[in-house]
């Protein structure tokens, strides 16, 4: 008889909280370099060396490109939970090694941060997949949005830590800022030790009793049998495909539209330029005002507060509005926020801080649209047969965009006005709106199995068009 490994009931709140806690790692590392960079520049005399600044900042994203893809493949074999634990360990080691960087060890820091990026990329792929597989369809947007709350909370935490540590000698301040990232990684590791595996992964691995027990933790008793049967139906239908799944499977005509939609959304989120703000806001303020970047560390905190408020607002509206509607609204306003300062400057000389105000508007709309919904869509749009590989590939494309933005932004602003650089990002935002309009299906309120069946033409759209307001 099949036995379960988990006998003690785990509360659904605990599962959802620590299931999404990996976002803290993602967010902390996005934010921490914002404050550490001005001190690192001063310590290693890098001011004006745009290429080295870009490489140190973006090296995490370089590692994340590979971390997302590897985690996607390995999570299909080892499970989501085990891979999150491995990611937390890598993150702890990489954070401590970053803080121990030798003086003027540019190459050392780039290599260590690339290693650290493996964990960041893995977390960005694994957490949405885990959360979407644990969440009921009518709450999936809201519960997956907890991941975004964790990300922006990690960013705000890093901004606050940077601000509190700025009074230390510059050679100590940036090292401590980077090393303290090991603390949330340790908390994540301890919390995930108590988490169950995804019921869909368990069912796919023929561990049915465990899958049923996990569903009993997170569903009403009367829902367990029906959902398990639905999962098994999908699993059986895909069983043959699962045995022969390879990267080429992503190009199969059954899956190609959803693969393009998921990867496209993930790529557009980064090419729209958000991380240029999050990584370089002190330097942006320095260029706009002439004041030292190390004295502008209150601005990241302001951006972090906006992000947290926006992420919490998303939890309220997540399952009340269609995904596509929110993404098109957000993309339009983000694009205008980037383009308008350039237009205004063409007709009248504006105050240098005008661009920073418009960046705050951008962050506000980004915080409750593209920031959380990208990962909601990545977690729910891919069919079971390709979910691990496709979500990993989407994460990798997201990190490719983040890597290129992090690397090229300081080089671009060194060669052209900041307003022009942001105008380019604004055009990309509007192209993203067009992509959503024509290439991305609506997924709100539909089970993962229904999304897959509809994409395969096995369900009529009319059967799914129901009011799913939570």
User: Can you give the residue ranges of every domain in the chain?
Assistant: 12-204+247-464
**Tokens 């989407």 — which residue?**
394
pLDDT, residue 424, reads 94
Q: Between these two residues, 469 and 22, which has the higher pLDDT value?
A: 22
Residue pair 183/191 in contact by the 8 Å Cβ criterion: no
Q: 244 pLDDT exceeds 70? A: no
Q: Which CATH number fits domain 12-204+247-464: 1.20.1250.20, 1.10.357.10, 3.30.9.10, 3.30.1360.10?
A: 1.20.1250.20
CA distance 95 to 99: 6
pLDDT, residue 9, reads 67
pLDDT, residue 310, reads 93
pLDDT, residue 110, reads 95
Q: 462 pLDDT exceeds 70? A: no
CA distance 321 to 387: 25
Q: What is the pLDDT of residues 12-40, one digit of tens each?
A: 788 888 888 888 877 888 788 888 888 89
Instruction: Give the number of other CB atoms < 10 A from CB of residue 194.
Output: 12
Q: 125 pLDDT exceeds 80? A: no
| Confidence category of residue 466, pLDDT binned at 50, 70, 90 | very low
Average pLDDT, whole number, for the chain?
A: 83
Give the pLDDT mean for 362-378: 90
Give the pLDDT mean for 427-448: 88
Categorise residue 229: left if φ over 0, alpha if ψ from -120 to 50, beta otherwise: alpha
Instruction: Provide CB contacts within 8 A for 412, sequence distance 6+.
Output: 421
Q: Is-above-0.85 flag for pTM?
A: no
Helices (H), 21-49: 22-44
**Tokens 């759209």 — which residue?**
461
**Can you spell out the DSSP letters for 113-151?**
HHHHHHHHHHHHHHHHHHHHHHS-GGGHHHHHHHHHHHH
Residue pair 208/202 in contact by the 8 Å Cβ criterion: yes
Structure tokens at 19: 């299931």
> Could you give the angle at which helices 221-243 and 208-218 cross, rounded to 10 degrees?
140
Q: What is the pLDDT of residues 65-122, one digit of tens each?
A: 888 778 877 887 888 888 989 999 999 999 999 999 999 899 999 999 999 999 988 8
**Tokens 């785990």 — which residue?**
10
Q: 235 pLDDT exceeds 50? A: yes
| Confidence category of residue 233, pLDDT binned at 50, 70, 90 | confident
Residue pair 91/63 in contact by the 8 Å Cβ criterion: no
Q: What percent of the chain has pLDDT over 70?
A: 88
| Confidence category of residue 326, pLDDT binned at 50, 70, 90 | very high
Identify the weakest region by mean pLDDT among 216-225, 288-297, 432-441.
Answer: 288-297
Residue pair 203/2 in contact by the 8 Å Cβ criterion: no
Q: Rg (Cα) of the chain, in Å, rounded? A: 22
Structure tokens at 273: 């330029």
Q: What is the pLDDT of residues 51-68, one digit of tens each?
A: 898 899 889 888 988 887
CA distance 449 to 470: 20
CA distance 458 to 466: 17
Q: 252 pLDDT exceeds 70? A: yes
Q: 295 pLDDT exceeds 70? A: no
pLDDT, residue 237, reads 67
Greatest mean pLDDT among 16-30, 322-336, 388-402, 450-464 lies in: 322-336
Q: What percent of the chain has pLDDT over 90?
A: 28
Give the pLDDT mean for 310-321: 87
Q: 312 pLDDT exceeds 50? A: yes
Q: 464 pLDDT exceeds 60? A: no
Q: 4 pLDDT exceeds 50? A: no
CA distance 276 to 63: 18
Cα maximum dimension of the chain: 78
CA distance 58 to 402: 8
pLDDT, residue 1, reads 37
Residue pair 36/178 in contact by the 8 Å Cβ criterion: yes
Instruction: Provide CB contacts within 8 A for 71, sequence distance 6+.
Output: 83, 87, 121, 122, 125, 126, 392, 395
Q: Between these two residues, 148 and 265, which has the higher pLDDT value?
A: 265
CA distance 73 to 245: 11
Residue pair 387/129 in contact by the 8 Å Cβ criterion: yes
CA distance 446 to 380: 9
pLDDT, residue 448, reads 66
Give the pLDDT mean for 125-130: 78
Distances (CA, A) of 263 to 178, 270, 271, 379, 395: 30, 11, 12, 11, 8
Give the pLDDT mean for 220-232: 84
């Amino acid at each position: 008889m099949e036995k379960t490994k988990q006998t003690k009931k785990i509360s659904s709140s605990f599962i959802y909280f620590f299931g999404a806690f990996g976002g803290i790692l993602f967010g902390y590392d996005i934010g921490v370099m914002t404050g550490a960079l001005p001190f690192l520049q001063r310590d290693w005399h890098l001011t004006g060396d745009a290429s080295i600044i870009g490489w140190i900042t973006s090296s995490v994203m370089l590692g994340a490109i590979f971390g997302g893809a590897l985690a996607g493949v390995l999570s299909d074999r080892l499970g989501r939970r085990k891979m999150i634990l491995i990611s937390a360990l890598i993150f702890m080691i990489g954070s401590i090694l970053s803080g121990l960087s030798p003086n003027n060890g540019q190459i050392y820091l780039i290599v260590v941060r690339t290693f650290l990026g493996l964990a960041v990329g893995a977390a960005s792929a694994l957490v949405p997949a885990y959360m979407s597989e644990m969440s009921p369809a009518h709450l999936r947007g809201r519960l997956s949005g907890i991941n975004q709350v964790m990300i922006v909370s990690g960013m705000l935490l890093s901004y606050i830590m940077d601000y509190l540590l700025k009074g230390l000698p510059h050679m100590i301040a940036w090292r401590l800022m980077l090393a303290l990232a090991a603390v949330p990684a340790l908390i994540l590791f301890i919390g995930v030790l108590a988490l169950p595996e995804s019921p869909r992964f368990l069912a796919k691995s023929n561990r049915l009793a465990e899958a049923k027990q996990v569903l009993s933790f997170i569903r009403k008793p009367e829902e367990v049998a029906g959902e398990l049967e639905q999962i098994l139906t999908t699993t059986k239908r895909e069983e043959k495909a699962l045995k022969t799944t390879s990267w080429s499977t992503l190009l199969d005509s059954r899956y190609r539209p959803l693969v393009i939609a998921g990867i496209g959304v993930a790529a557009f989120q980064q090419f729209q330029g958000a991380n240029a703000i999050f990584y370089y806001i002190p330097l942006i303020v320095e260029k706009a005002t002439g004041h030292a970047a190390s004295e502008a560390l209150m601005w990241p905190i302001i951006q972090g507060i906006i992000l947290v408020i926006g992420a919490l607002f998303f939890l309220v509206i997540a399952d009340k509005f269609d995904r596509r509607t929110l993404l098109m609204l957000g993309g339009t306003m983000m694009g205008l926020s980037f383009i308008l300062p350039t237009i205004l400057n063409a007709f009248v000389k504006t105050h240098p801080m005008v661009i920073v105000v418009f960046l705050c508007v951008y962050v506000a709309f980004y915080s409750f649209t593209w920031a959380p919904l990208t990962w909601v869509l990545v977690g729910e749009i891919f069919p079971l047969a390709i979910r691990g590989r496709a979500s990993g590939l989407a994460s990798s494309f997201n990190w490719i965009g983040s890597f290129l933005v992090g690397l090229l932004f300081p080089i671009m602003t060194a060669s052209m006005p900041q307003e022009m650089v942001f105008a380019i990002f604004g055009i990309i935002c509007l192209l993203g709106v067009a992509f959503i309009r024509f290439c991305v299906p609506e997924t709100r309120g539909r089970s993962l199995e229904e999304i897959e069946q509809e994409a395969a033409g096995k369900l009529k759209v009319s059967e799914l068009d129901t009011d799913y307001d939570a």
